[in-house]
Structure formats: structure tokens, C-alpha cells
Structure 1
Amino acid sequence: MTFDGRRHVRKASPRASGDASGELGTAAQQPWIALLQGMLGSMLILAGSLGVGWIANGSPMIRNSLVIALRTDGSGVVVSTIALTLGAMILLRSWLRLGQRLSLWGPGSLKQVVLAVVLWGAPLFVAVPIFSRDVFAYTGQGRLMAEGMNPYTTGISALSNWFMLGTDPSWAENRTPYGPLFLWLSRGVVAITGAQPELSVLFFRLLACVGVALCVIFLPKLAELGGFNGARALWIAVANPLFLISFIASAHNDALMVGLAVCGVYLAATRKPFLAIVLVTASIAVKPITIVLLPFIGLLWAGTAAGWGRRFAGCGATGAISLFLLWLAGIPHNLGFGWTWALLDSIPGYTGYSPSGFVGQLVGSLANAVGLDGGIFENGFRTLLTVGSVGIAGWLVLFGDPQKVLRRLALAFAAVVMLAPIIQPWYILWFLPFLAATGIKNDWQIKVCYVVIGFFVVFGAQDQLFVWNFVDLPMATKALSSWVAIAVVGYLLLIDVHTRKLLFTKGLELAHALPLK
């Protein structure tokens, strides 16, 4: 029997149960080894970020003697690149090993996972932004608000000195895709920091950490409602390196969005519908994608025994209350419903590793091969997947086991994200907490989780490294980072006696699992 973290009545003897590496006894009782190794990985990421992380050109930090030495000398850039990449890979291995060492998920395991989040996240809190520099755009949007301009109609290029404060040029003319709550939070950060880059980053990290804390508190509780192990769910969704790097080091506002959504869904599942609607609406007002969750909040409000009339009434009332709250949030500064463009307007382009992007390219190539217009077929295929994702979500709202509304919510959210043309690495973190809370089995499901998280950690480590053009390097930093990551992945898959068993065994065969309590 494969173990998905669900509660079972019978206890397993140590010899009857195994973890992913077949280790028991001492190894399973020493999570501190993985905790310390992960902290080392985070410290290396911190050190590497000083040399290749994102620093605004107008920041005083750019004139620090250590930063100058690391960024203007080729050897400093090389060492920083290796440190950042190696740190990310050590953090990945530590996450895998922590799961192996806590494989029985007995009493005390939740405390160890929470400790991992704290120890591994602390160095990332003070790191230079890595994997993304969207956090600098948040400051720009706060400045727009402070100067009386509407971020839904005006790009950051309308600001003086906008480029020197670190914003990516792709934001220059773009409208913000964020909700009114986050715009007001951005305005508040700018009021406190005066748009000083480093202070602003730290304040946006504090907001992100509020979201992380909400996940740490409410995700285990959400999992236990369905009889699943809360510690294991938290380990899968929050302690993984992609979550910690993307939501703490990168300071993405997605962390606050996800934290509010998890808290809101938990409240809905525990029969507190009005407070749940407020929390999920706040999540939408940070980033509108969580509007997908509203119908399921209505179903939870209606109850498992509800008929069609009560279900539609619950969904309708949920939508009406949420819409009213969003209308109120848009009144100040005349923001209105400007955020709706992020849902209604399709952003051009695609990412090559998304199913829509990758398969779409194949469809286009096949069409070109037979003399047809490949571009038309590519766009048609991607549109079909996007429409299909909405159809899947709608089906999951209308049909399915009324006892499994949370699972249907998780699958609907996953469909909307995974079938979109553009998938950024941290997008999978939107729905992963809900999948983890409703059961990810220790078979192909957890293996897919390992592969996807590992891929995006490797991809992120080499995707956005800041290096000045005048620095003379023996090898491009992207290539160097890729080779370091590939070498570590090879070690984990082929040499490491512990981690190599994670993908190349039949799964985690547990005779029984320890109960939650």
C-alpha cells in the first residue's frame, strides 16, 4: 500500500515501515542533520546573492567595497555563481533528506518541518533578491500610487529615475496585474521607506513572510481536516526550496496571495463562510488568479448534503459578497475594477516548458512541415487549452464527490495554471499547497513533485543572474550555473545512496502509517 499521508488506525512497527531510502531507526530520528545542511545551503545562497543577485543601480549597496569586489572581478562573479547554485542544490537535497528522515510522520514531525522553514528561510530573508526582480516593480507601483497615478493605466516609466531603482524594463509600459489591496500595501511601503531600494525589499519580504506564516499555521490544519498528515503536507508545499526561494528571497507577492487563500479555504471548510469570503477576497485583491477558488467557497458554505438550489445560492452569495468587497477596495484612488484586465486580457507569448508552450511548438512544427501556417495552429492549440482549463474548472465546480470539495478545488486550480501558455516557476506554488493538503501519494505523484520542483530550482538558479557587461568571464554565468546544477543533479540521481532511491524505486511501500495524533 502506498502512503499518501492519510490517517490510519493501526501503527506501524519500525521494521514494517520504510522511508524512501529504506532507512529506519537512527536516520529517521535525526532530522537535525538535514536541517543544518539546509541552513548551510541557504547561507551559500545568501553569499552568492551578493555577487550575482539583483541590486538597484541607484542603491548605496552597489558602492559597498565587498559588493564591488564580487561584481567587478571575474573571479568574484564565478565564485558567487557557484555559491548560489550550489546552495540552491544543497537546499534541494536537504528538503529531500528531511522527508526521508521524517518518513513515518509521527509526533513531533510538524515541529521539525516548521523549524526547517524558519532555519532555511532566515538567511534568504536578508539575501539580495534572486530568481526574479519583480519586487523592485512593487516599489515602482507604490510610487505611482504616491504620485496620484493609476497603475492600471500608467506604466512605471512615467516615474522619474525609475530605471535606477531596479525595475525590469519589461515593466516600463505595462499595466500592473495586481489587485487593489496589494497596490495600497505597496503605497504604504513607499511611504515608510521613501522608495529606498533595500528597505523596500525588506518590507515587501515582511509582507511575503506574512503569507508564509499563514501557510505554516493553516496548511497542516487544512490537511488534518481530511485525515491527511499536516506535517507531510507542510513539508511538500512550504519547506521545499522553490517555495522558500521564490516567496522569501524573491519576495513575490504570490506568498501573501497563497497564504490568504489557504487561510480562507480552511475557514470555509470549518464552517466560517463570511470570514472565509473576506480572506479569499483579500487574496484576490493581492493577485486576481485566486478568483478560481470562490465557487468552491460557495460549495463549502452550502454543505455536503446541499441540493442544486442550495449550491447555486451558496456560490452566488459568495460571488456577490466578494464582488462588493472588491468594489469597496477599488473606491480609494479611483482604482475601480482595473485589475480585471489581468483575467480578461491574454498576455501574448508563452513559456517553452509549459505544456501549452512546448506542445504548441510541436503542433506548429507539424503544421509547417505539411505546408500549413504553423503560427495559426500554435495559437489555436493554446487557445483551446486555455478554454479547456476553464471548462475543467467549471466541471469540477458542478460535478464530483461532495465530500471532496477541497480536492476538486485543488485540481481546478492546477488545471487553470498548468494549461495556461505562460507558467513562471513559482506559479506551481499557487496550487501545490491545496494538492498537498488533500493527499499526494508516495508513488508517481510525489516523484512528479520532486522532478518539477527540482527542475524549477535548477532553472531559476541560472535564469536570472545579474552580471555587468564589462566583467571579463572565462565562461558565461548561465552556462557555469547550468553545469554546476547538472553535476549535482547527476550526483543526486546516480551516486548519492539516499536520494537516488527516490525516483528509481517502486515508491514508498509502507505497511501502515502512524496516526496523526
Structure 2
Amino acid sequence: MPIWGVSAEPRRCRYLGLAGSVMLALGGLGAGAVPLGTPHAPTGPGIFLAWCGMVLLIAAWLLLGRAVRGAEPPEPRWLLRTLLCWAAPLVLGPPLFSRDVYSYLAQGALVGAGLNAYTTGPAALGGPFDAQVPGLWQHTPAPYGPLFLLLADLVARVAGHALSAGVLLLRLVALGGLALLAVVLPRLARACGVPPAAALWLGLLNPLVLFHLVAGAHNDALLLALLVSGLLLRRRPLWAAVLVTLAALIKLPAALGLVAVVVLWGERLKGRAGLSRAALATGAVALATTAVVTALSGIGYGWVHALAVPVSAGSWSLTSLLGRACGWLLSSLYHSTEVGLVGLAVLAWRWLGLAAAVASVLLLLRRVRRRQVGVVYAVGLALVAVVALGPAIRPWYALWGGVLIAAAAPADGRVRRWAPLVSGLLALLVAPDGFTPGPQEVLLAVAGGVLGAVVVLAGVRIPLPRLTEKPMGRM
């Protein structure tokens, strides 16, 4: 199908996306989150090339979506091979869009050194891992659950003091999560009545996955794999509760998946008290799983108190922006220069956002009980609401609910129509090095993006050789 006169032939989209991925990986050598002190290419050309690759990859993904929604969509296996093509250059390149992977290593090394990562920041560690953590996070504790810190400790021990080995191992952990997700996501989609190809395109080939879970090696990949696996085991609710709890022991918002477990378990228990019994059983399994993992980690429950870390470091979110705007407005109206007024406004808006998020979850739960919406889809929407209305947000947080939406959203619904556009825009919000760009970097980024658009328009007109592989086929 053409879009704005541009062909959406699947093979052409694959090649365009591969070209974008290679450009992004090469540009990342000069503009990515490379280790400090490492010689690399000049920053200017790296920024230009990286942004060109970003735009090219996002455009190729959006064009491929037209084919997925067509009469003869690509087969799931063809889409997975396309994912491998797009991800391979990013796996071999440096970390991109965030330096969190270095924080993971430093926090794992803290655990290995016998220090409490929930009260101590990387600055207390010293060594090669600490040196790569941005100053903003040097004195902040780890906001992750004990399961991930166990893995980070293991990786730090195996890597020793080799920074590149540690980054590679953490990237392999993320890739392992994505490999499991590639297996369970199509199955969950079938259970929800969604074509697997549509779920794979929106949930796995998404630029947010490629940029932040593959190139950035974020632990959200493992979280999503455990969450989706748990929701897939609807006929084995006990194991479903264990897997969803393990996902929450990486990042707490995944615990919303336990609501789905309760509902699905309650449907299997007959009688009016079935839902109550399911809630008690799910809670007991979640508490037992948490206790076992926490005991194995040996680092206690301090992660509960450290959950505010992403908020305390001047994070940006919708409620924070509204709070700052109201604070500045009040300061100008009352001719006040007190910084505390802005802080109070931000705090008030954050509490309003949390209240709205809780109300959204309760409303969705009510619609699930009335069978107006599927439970997996409702959890996806709830996670999106928590991210959008919460006090801290990063672009890759959208994947918490986005992957479930990919698996369960109705094909003719507005959410599935808008999700690709939102994903593409979010993928452009973070610079390849993870920092706020200056004026010169913005100009280079715009120039690179324009070149990427030109490459897309030119690339769709290049004739392709005939191959025996047939990406099109009915599912």
C-alpha cells in the first residue's frame, strides 16, 4: 500500500530499516553513550549520522505497518527475521540513548562488595563502573527490585573490571528477555484474538524496543518477558502469579499484572466468593515469591523506599510540567521569587496525577468486571495511565503497557491506530547520548533527520531484485 506516494513493500521496508540501523550504530560511535575517556569519532558527524538512522528506521517501521494491516500481511517468522536484521547492528554498537547500563553495573558491583545498593550510590564504589555513571546518579540508590540486582551482581562478578564485557553481558540479558518475548507475545495475541503479526510489529519491532531495549540494554526487556509470560499462563494461575511477581521485582509497576491474574483466576473458581479467594491466593503467592527472592538477594526490602529515585532527580513528566507552569504563574501573579512555591505546585500536581492514575485503574477494573474490555488490554491501558500520569517518565516506560496493547487491543480501535504515531514520536525524544542537546546538536539532528527523510523517499523508488523469499502470506 502506498502512503503519501511511498511504497510499503515489506522487503523494501526491511532494507530501509537495516540501513537506518547501521547508520545509527555507526553514528553512535561518536554520539552514543560511549565510555568516558574512550577515543571515538568526532561528535558532529556522529550526531548527524545517528539522527539520520533514527528517522530512517522509524519511517521503515511505520511503512511496514501498512503492509501488516494489509490484506496479506507478512508472516510472523518473516517479521522476526526482520527484527534480527534491524537489531544486529545495534547489538554490535555502543550503548545508546542512556547511560543506565553503566548504573546497572555499578549497582551490581555495590551488591558484590557487600554495600547496600538501596542506601548507597555508585560514588561509594570507585573503580571503572562508577566512573561511567552520570553525576546526577552518583549518590542515588538503586530503584530496582532485588531480582534485577541479583542479576546485576552476577554480571558484575563475571565481568570483573572489564567494562565492555559487563555491557555485553547486560545486553545479552536484555536480548534473552526479548527472545522470550518473541515466543510468548504471539501466543498471548492469539489468546486475545489479535493477529500475531500485528502484535509482533507493534510490540517487538517498535523503535522504542530497538533504541532502548536493544541498544540501551534496559532491564525493561526482562520485565516485559516475565509479565507477558505470566499473563499467558491463564490456565496455571499459580505460576502466572509467580512470573508476574518476578517482573514486579525488577520494577514495581509490573505488579498491576497481578490484577489480571486475580481476575483470570477468579473466573476459574466458581461461586460469588471466587474472586475473593483468587485475590487471597494471588496475594499469598506474590508475598511468598517476594520473600524468597529477597532472602536470596540478602539486601532486604530497602528498594521499596528507593522507588522515588527516578522522581527525585528532576525527572520530567506531564504532572511535573503542569506543576512548574502553575508555580511560575502563581509566582508572577503574586510577584514572588520563592522557589518553594514552584516546588509545592509540582508536588500538588504529582499527587493529583497519582490520584488520577488510581482512578483510571479502578475504572478499567470496573469495565473488566462488566466484560466491556479484555483483562490483558485493561492492564495495558492501566500501565499507560500510570506512566502518563505518574511523577516520572522515560520514553521506554511506554512499553510497559504498549506491549500488552500490541497483544490485546482491538484491531479497529483508536488505541491501536494512535499507538504507532505515539511510539514514533517518543522514539525521537531522547538524543543518542542520553543528554539534553545544545543548539548545535539540535541543528545537526534536524539536518540528519532531513537526510533520513530524503533517503526514505529515494529508497522506495530503487528497484529490488526478485527473491524466492515470500514475506507475504495469510496467518
User: What TM bracket, shorter-length normalisation?
Assistant: 0.7 to 0.9
Shift of 1:119: 0.7
Of the three residues 339, 346, 362, the one matched with 1:394 is 362
CA contact (8 A) 2:30 2:43 kept: yes
Deviation readout 1:78-125 (Å, 9 max, x if unpaired): 211111111111100110111123332647521222112111011111
1:49 match: 28
After superposition, what is the alpha-carbon deviation per residue over 1:311-356, rounded to whole angstroms, capped at 9, x for unaligned? 122122112111111111111353222221244788336655x332
The whole-number CA distance in structure 2 between the counterparts of 1:410 and 1:423 is 16
What secondary structure does 2:311 align onto? coil
Q: Is the 8 A contact 1:296 1:397 kept in 2?
A: no
What is aligned with 1:364? 327
> Any conservation in 1 of the 2:147–2:249 contact (CA below 8 Å)?
yes
Kindly tell me: are residues 406 and 444 of structure 1, through their superposed partners in 2, closer, same or farther at Cα, counting changes over 3 Å?
closer
> Please, which moves more after superposition, 440-449 or 285-294?
440-449
How much has 1:461 moved relative to structure 2?
A: 3.0
**Counterpart position of 1:99:** 65
- Checking the alignment, whether the CA contact within 8 Å between 1:52 and 1:465 is kept in structure 2 is no
What's the offset of the Cα at 1:167?
Answer: 1.5
Q: In 2 relative to 1, CA 416–307 (structure 1 residues): closer, same or farther, beyond 3 Å?
A: farther
C-alpha spacing 1:375/1:483, structure 2 compared with 1 (3 Å): farther
Cα distance in 2 for residues equivalent to 1:365 and 1:172 = 30
Could you tell me how far 1:454 is from its partner in structure 2? 2.2
What secondary structure is seen at the aligned counterpart in 1 of 2:429? helix
Aligned partner of 1:379 in structure 2 is 347
Aligned to 1:435: 405
What is the aligned length? Answer: 457
Shift of residue 39 of structure 1? 0.9
Is 1:420 the counterpart of 2:402? The answer is no
1:117-132 equivalences in 2 (<5 Å)? 117-132=83-98
**1:55 Cα deviation from its structure 2 partner:** 2.5
Q: How does 1:73-222 map to 2 (within 5 A)?
A: 76-104=42-70, 106=72, 108-161=74-127, 165-222=131-188
1:355 matches 2:334 = no
- Alpha-carbon distance between aligned partners in 1 of 2:33 and 2:44, rounded to the nearest angstrom: 16
The share of aligned pairs that are identical, in percent, is 30
Distance change in 2, residues 1:350/1:315 (3 Å):
farther
Equivalent residue for 2:3, pick from 6, 14, 21? 21
Distance 2:300 2:366 in 1: 30
Deviation at 1:302, TM superposition (A): 1.4
Q: Show structure 2 runs of 5+ residues with no match.
A: 461-471
Alpha-carbon spacing, 1:184–1:333, altered in 2? closer, same or farther (3 Å): closer
- Cα 1:278–1:148 change in 2 (3 A) is same
AA matched with 1:394? L
Give TM-score scaled by structure 2 length.
0.87
Q: Deviations over 1:371-419 (max 9, x none)?
A: 3955434421221111221232234335533472112211221111110
Give the superposed CA RMSD: 3.1
Equivalent position of 2:229 in the other structure: 263
Cα deviation, residue 164, structure 1: 6.0
Counting only pairs closer than 5 Å after superposition, residues 285-364 of structure 1 correspond to structure 2 as: 285-303=249-267, 308-343=272-307, 347-348=311-312, 351-352=315-316, 354-364=317-327
Q: Secondary structure at the match of 1:252?
A: coil
The aligned residue for residue 240 of structure 2 is 276
Q: 1:367: Cα distance to partner?
A: 3.6
Given the alignment of the two structures, is residue 250 of structure 1 paired with residue 250 of structure 2, yes or no?
no
For 1:84 and 1:365, the matched residues in 2 are separated by: 36
**Residues 143, 190 of structure 1: 8 Å contact kept:** yes
Tell me by how many angstroms 1:254 deviates.
0.9
SS at match of 1:182: helix
How far did residue 285 of structure 1 move? Answer: 1.8
Residues 120-147 of structure 1, C-alpha deviation per residue, up to 9 Å, x if partnerless? 0111111111100100011111111111
Change (3 A) 1:120 1:319: same
> Partner of 1:347: helix, strand, or coil?
helix
Q: Give 3-state SS (helix, strand or coil) of 1:36's partner.
A: helix
Given residue 32 of structure 1, which amino acid in structure 2 is its aligned partner? Answer: R
Give, in angstroms, the shift of residue 465 of structure 1.
Answer: 5.8
What is the match of residue 420 of structure 2?
450
Q: Which amino acid in 1 is paired with 2:326?
A: V
Alpha-carbon distance in structure 1 between the residues aligned to 2:411 and 2:157: 47
Deviations 1:467-502 (A, max 9, x none): 9xxxxx9x722442144336757998xx8999xxxx
Tell me which amino acid in the other structure corresponds to 2:59: R
Contact 1:130 1:465 in 2 (8 A): no
Question: TM-score, structure 1 length as denominator?
Answer: 0.80
Contact 1:226 1:438 in 2 (8 A): yes
1:45, distance to aligned residue in structure 2 (A):
1.1
Equivalent AA in structure 1 for residue 14 of structure 2 = L
Q: Using a 3 Å threshold, how does the CA distance of structure 1 residues 516 and 407 change in structure 2: closer, same or farther?
A: farther
Could you tell me whether the CA contact under 8 Å between 2:96 and 2:433 is conserved in 1?
Answer: no
Which residue is equivalent to 1:16? Answer: none
1:214-237 per-position Cα deviation (integer Å, ceiling 9, x unaligned): 221111111111211111111012
Query: CA, structure 1 residues 144+118, in 2 after alignment: closer, same or farther (shift >3 Å)?
Result: same
